[in-house]
Chain A
Amino acid sequence: MKTWMNSYVVRRLVRAVYAVLLLMGAVLPSCLKCHAQEYPYFVTYSQEMEEPGNLDIESFDVAGSPKGGNSFLGSDVEFEYGATGWWTTEFYLDGQATANESTIFTGFRWENRFRPLPGEHWINPVLYVEFEDTSADKTLREVVGHDGNDDLIVPNWLARQDKEREIELKLILGSNVHGWNISENFIAEKNLAGDPWEFGYAVGVSHPLKMAASAHECVFCLEKFQAGAEMYGGLGDADGFGLHLTSQYLGPTVNWTASNGMTVGFSPQFGLNGYSVPVLYRFSVSYEIQQFLSHFHRGGGQ
């Protein structure tokens, strides 16, 4: 019952992916030139901003079996919009399903990313500000403070009583070197109820399997794949900064971009200490609608 292959979680995962594909299927007929080219990260943000006017719809899912608790599936749907060349805004809806417990909507998040420097540099900084209003969240889109296995075994009925209204700040640093993307995130999160600042980090590195594009359309050619690795974890809080009693994860990650522009990603991520969930399986589906608002204009979206 406690393996990630728990049939309840698998059923929920299949339904979540099915719902996202249905949503994207509804969008597709009016959007034949949708295209996304994403780095294969699940937790780490890169320096890339959404192109101005484009809307990226993404679903991120994570399945895990915490020690001493029930298997779960955390899901979020994200709507990421390129407001300008230097400002991207994103809205998230979060939910989770826990075996033998319940399936619940856990809240929303709204984040904004700003790229302060024009041009491309060796290291490109991006500033990230997020407000979130969640409870019983299991999407694990970041790990901060002393987040760990024990937070994920609290029953949903109890966890829902703990409302988390938080401000999260990130310094995102990213570099592109000879086809490699290297991204580092430094995270500070503050519960507005008065808890101390909590800290975390995420690091990702990736490379396309082939750099140059083929002259002819292809489906499973190497240029459609990006692979890499991701590592992230907590760094304690203002009362005790460091790795003591924090969870840490590391895993390979890969994504594939289909000919119609849909990108599918997968990553098994392994807990590096006893405070972490042993394994997390992450899945993503994303779809980019280019010049989203033009689809509402007469003759637009062509």
Chain B
Amino acid sequence: MIGTAARRFLVLLIVALPLALFATSDGAWLMKVPARDREKVNPYRDQTDAVAAGRRIYVDHCAHCHGDDAQGTKKRPSLKSARVQQEATEGDLHWLLVNGNRGQGMPSWTKLGDPQIWQVIAYVKSLH
């Protein structure tokens, strides 16, 4: 027999799991970014070489999902959207690239290392 507390916990789990998954989709990841991460500033901001390097990294690792021109594909979002270009700070994007959003198919890119992550962000932000 399952006790009352255990039954409540199970019901909570069953209800909370889909909610948690739903909550992380469609840009809800922005809500999860800690303030200290959101305020991070790109050390490569507005550097022409960094934007060019970021473009190379983007083509190698990101274009197959987000499209050659970053307009998005059937299943993956555009990186020229207002959410990415205006709503999200550089720090937000850095947090997303470090942590990923696995439920939505976005992997973590820590294997690139911080400098290359910031270079990609410099490129993406140059697309506005």
Minimum CB–CB distance for A16 against chain B, Å: 27
Contact indicator B99/A291 (Cβ below 8 Å)? no
Minimum CB–CB distance for B45 against chain A, Å: 14
Complex-state Cα separation, A164 to B111, whole angstroms: 35
Partner of B56, one of A85, A217, A291: A217
Complex-state Cα separation, A49 to B107, whole angstroms: 8
For residue B60, CB closer than 8 A to chain A, the reply is yes
Contact indicator B106/A85 (Cβ below 8 Å)? yes
B114: which A residues are within 8 A, CB to CB? 178-179, 211
Complex-state Cα separation, A178 to B50, whole angstroms: 19
B interface majority secondary structure? helix
Contact indicator B113/A120 (Cβ below 8 Å)? no
Minimum CB–CB distance for B111 against chain A, Å: 5
For residue B7, CB closer than 8 A to chain A, the reply is no
For residue B27, CB closer than 8 A to chain A, the reply is no
Contact indicator B102/A290 (Cβ below 8 Å)? no
- Show the binding face of B for A, using Cβ within 8 Å: 48-50, 52-54, 56-57, 59-61, 63-65, 98-108, 110-116, 119
Jot down 23 A-B pairs with beta carbons below 8 A, ordered by A: A33-B64, A37-B61, A39-B111, A52-B105, A53-B105, A82-B107, A84-B102, A85-B100, A85-B101, A85-B104, A86-B102, A115-B102, A118-B100, A118-B102, A120-B108, A179-B114, A212-B53, A213-B115, A213-B116, A214-B56, A261-B60, A291-B64, A291-B65
- Show the binding face of A for B, using Cβ within 8 Å: 33, 35, 37, 39, 48-49, 51-53, 82, 84-86, 115, 118-120, 176, 178-179, 181, 208, 211-217, 261, 290-291
